[in-house]
Amino acid sequence: MKIVLYYVLMKTKRPTRKNTQAVQEVQYVQHVHDTQEVQEVQVARVGALVAGEGSILQASGNELITRYIDSLDVKPRSRDTYRKSLKQFLLYLQEHGIRDPKRTDILAYKRYLMDRHTACTVSTYLTAVKGLFTYLEAERICPNVANGIKGAKHQTGFRKDALTVDQTRKVLSLIDRTTEEGLRDYALVNLLVRTGLRTVEAQRANIEDIRQEGGEALLYIQGKGRDSKDAFVILTASTLDPIREYLRARGKALATEPLFTSLSDKNRGGRLTTHSISRIVKNALRGAGIDSDRLTAHSLRHTAVTFSLLGGASVQEAQLMARHGSVNTTMIYAHNIERIASAPERKIDALLGL
């Protein structure tokens, strides 16, 4: 069966006294030929969606993007990411005067992104664009010119570094614990570096999420991509005591309140944002004389996993603490530790004796 599909998008009628609104006429013609075990789809467009104005994407880009995003079965956070990514794409088309995107335009956009963003960001933006064109093709609006275009190749390893033991001790020791703000910051940074929580997991935590089970204090968390708080980390005395000290200084609070709250005038008592948590960690690092783009709040997660392995935890135990979806992720930490410990470069030095 050979199927040839033609989309003929006619120009809109100009407004008249009898017709105060533009009327879009879309004519779809389907021609079918019988062949042997062959299916081929071709899509051709004639004219413009709106008289005198660009093509489908430019004439009704925002509307189509909204329809596409509404069709996705994803979380609100993912919807926002798709919306942001596609807004960037539309801006690119407008800035470069592209009215009828071709495959070469998508490839050019990919190169444009790679000159300005990390591989991870490029892949995120391209995923949104490819998803949009897949949707447009399925809705018989335009061909999928982004089909088969690959995302950016990610670097091996992690984008952020881990702290050393000495750096971690210095960071914690230099946080001022004489104020409520200092007690909060110490409890937060200490929690992240001892449990490997993501910033969003710490941000979502409530006071009531600290529970006692089997003689251990646990903090139940809503992990990455999860809908409920069905995972936990163990709070040792060294982790729990600073949290309790901070909560005492904070005063009376309901169990349903956030574990870590803002002290700003605009949001006092409200839940810290992930941006605020990142800023608190960054300030703590800078306070210890550590200022690097590769050392951020997420570095504390890498630090926790690294320390657990250095302290004798198995790869599987470290994986459970970090809640990695694949043990291969945890293995990267183990390989890095083994690589540094074995250091064949030092054996070369010993051999040369220079």
Phi, psi angle pair for 325, to nearest 5°: -65, -30
Question: Does the pLDDT of residue 27 top 70, yes or no?
Answer: no
Residues contacting residue 177 through CB under 8 Å, at least 6 positions apart:
183, 186
Q: How far is it, in rounded angstroms, from Cα 333 to Cα 320?
A: 14
Give CATH 1.10.150.130 domain extents, the chain: 56-155
Identify the band that residue 177 occupies on the pLDDT scale cut at 50, 70 and 90. very high
pLDDT of res. 118: 82
Catalytic residues: 198, 224, 298, 301, 324, 333
Question: Does the pLDDT of residue 225 top 80, yes or no?
Answer: no
pLDDT of res. 152: 78
pLDDT of res. 332: 85
The amino acid at residue 161 is: D
Q: What is the CATH number of domain 169-294?
A: 1.10.443.10
Q: What is the CATH number of domain 56-155?
A: 1.10.150.130
Cα-Cα-Cα-Cα dihedral sign, residues 293, 273, 174, 207: negative
Identify the band that residue 232 occupies on the pLDDT scale cut at 50, 70 and 90. very high
pLDDT of res. 155: 54
Question: Which residues on neighbouring strands pair with residue 256, listed in sequence order?
Answer: none
Mean pLDDT of 312-335: 89
pLDDT of res. 154: 59
Give CATH 1.10.443.10 domain extents, the chain: 169-294
27, 64 in Cβ contact below 8 A?
Answer: no
3-state helix, strand, coil in the chain (%, to 5): 50, 10, 40
Q: How does pLDDT run across 29-81, given as a tens digit for each residue?
A: 333 333 333 333 333 332 333 333 444 454 467 888 889 999 998 888 888 99
Question: Is the full-model pTM beyond 0.75?
Answer: no
269, 250 in Cβ contact below 8 A?
Answer: no
Q: How does pLDDT run across 184-224, given as a tens digit for each residue?
A: 999 999 999 999 999 999 999 999 999 999 899 999 999 77
